[in-house]
Amino acid sequence: MTEKEKAQQGLLYDNNNDPQLVNERLEAKELCYDYNQLRPSMISEREAIMRKLLAKTGEKFWIEQPFYCDLGYNIEIGENFYCNHNAVMLDAAKITFGSNVFIAPNCGFYTAGHPLDAEQRNQGLEIALPITVGDNVWIGGGVSVLPGVTIGDNTVIGAGSVVTKDIPAGVIAAGNPCRVIRAITEADKNKYPRGKIGHSPIE
């Protein structure tokens, strides 16, 4: 069994010394470098790099620069995906985003974990557990999502949260560690004032 196959099965694997994984990370980081050096207005070039880097994209997506990942081929994004500046995705295992996911700046999605035993850790061994984010999820600024976490549909994660365990659908959750605060209700549709489209909001 290769080190890559071990990683895919959630087993301890040698991430630091395996030539295949080292080369694959280098290829992905070269693409990230190219992406981050492009002018913001170079829309088609940016889109082409992301379609090459990521395993799956929707027709419509937008990822602000800079963006960083380990492998790229373990990241899938749904339709109408938006990711703000300075995202870090350590995708040793799969990271899957549904449709209509909004990610604020400075967020990290970390599938990689290290042994608690120092001897194993110093050998370069790691474990990788997948992250799954459902449809219609908003993740606030500075959120960290840790290995093995699933976030349900229609959920909001508050800024600065550290998500260590699964979060159900349809809730607001926040904190370190991230916890459910309350369900999202019909009343939340009227939380913010709205003007008519094409008219002044004070009319």
Catalytic residues: 114
Q: What would the two tokens of residue 32 be? A: 């990230």
Q: Beta partners for 156?
A: 138, 172
In this structure, are residues 184 and 156 in contact, taking their beta carbons and an 8 Å threshold?
Answer: yes
Gap between the Cα atoms of 15 and 19, Å rounded: 9
| Element housing 138 (H / E) | strand 138-139
Helix (H, G, I), strand (E, B) or coil at 35: helix
The residue ranges of DSSP E strands in 44-100, in sequence order, are 61-63, 67-69, 75-76, 81-83, 87-90, 95-97
* Gyration radius (Cα) of the chain, Å: 19
